[in-house]
């Protein structure tokens, strides 16, 4: 009987730790998504770097590199000084501006994880209104170092 109780306590403790970890991850990811959406939506035209580098340069550290370099692919953030990575960042911000940034009251309705070859994807399902129609889009993040970076939008 004691071993059964001990097993139940250990199982409960492990399960609780997983739930806490998922809660912490989901809130960190939600924070990253909101920060990235704000960067994409609120370009500071008085910022000299915005004029020099490009409107969305501040978004690069939030977006996973998906280029041809196998040493960096899915393992680092974009470098806005690289023209192809700048295109990736700009395209990502445009997608964000054409989706969730159409509705200032967008809602995160689900959080899930999926293991893939790139690592564990942390997916936020987000609902928003676009021209009066309710839409749902998945924003998938990978943990790179101690940050969650956007890797895909579906």
Q: What is the pLDDT of residue 5?
A: 35
* Spatial separation of the C-alpha atoms in residues 27 and 33, rounded to whole Å: 10
- Residue-by-residue DSSP string for 3-67: HHHHHHHHHHHHHHHHHHHHHHHHHHHHHHHHHHHHHHH---TT-HHHHHT-TTGGGGGGBB--S
Instruction: Please tell me the distance from the alpha carbon of residue 14 to that of residue 49, in angstroms, as a whole number.
Output: 47
Mean of all residue pLDDT scores within the chain? 87
- Residue 23's pLDDT is 54
Q: Where are the domains of the chain?
A: 2-153
Determine what percent of the chain is predicted with pLDDT higher than 70.
85
Task: Say if CB 136 and CB 109 are below 8 A apart.
Answer: yes
Three-state secondary-structure class, residue 98:
helix
Contact 64, 140 (CB under 8 A): no
pLDDT of residue 136: 97
Among the residue ranges 2-6, 22-26, 107-111, 118-122, the one predicted with the least confidence is 2-6
pLDDT in tens, 62-95: 999 999 999 999 999 999 999 999 999 999 999 9
Q: Quick one: average pLDDT of 43-53?
A: 91
Query: Tens digit of pLDDT for each residue in 103-141?
Result: 999 999 999 999 999 999 999 999 999 999 999 999 999
């Amino acid at each position: 009987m004691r071993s059964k109780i001990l097993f139940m306590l250990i199982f409960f403790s492990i399960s609780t730790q997983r739930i806490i970890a998922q809660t912490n991850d989901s809130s960190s990811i939600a924070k990253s998504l909101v920060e990235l959406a704000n960067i994409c939506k609120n370009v500071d035209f008085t910022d000299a770097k915005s004029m020099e580098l490009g409107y969305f340069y501040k978004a690069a550290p939030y977006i996973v590199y998906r280029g041809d370099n196998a040493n960096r692919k899915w393992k680092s953030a974009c470098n806005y000084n690289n023209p192809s990575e700048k295109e990736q960042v700009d395209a990502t911000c445009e997608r964000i501006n054409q989706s969730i940034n159409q509705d200032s009251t967008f809602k995160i309705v689900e959080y899930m994880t999926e293991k893939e070859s790139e690592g564990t994807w942390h997916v936020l399902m987000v609902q928003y209104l676009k021209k009066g129609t309710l839409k749902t889009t998945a924003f998938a993040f990978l943990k790179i170092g101690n940050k969650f970076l956007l890797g895909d939008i579906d």
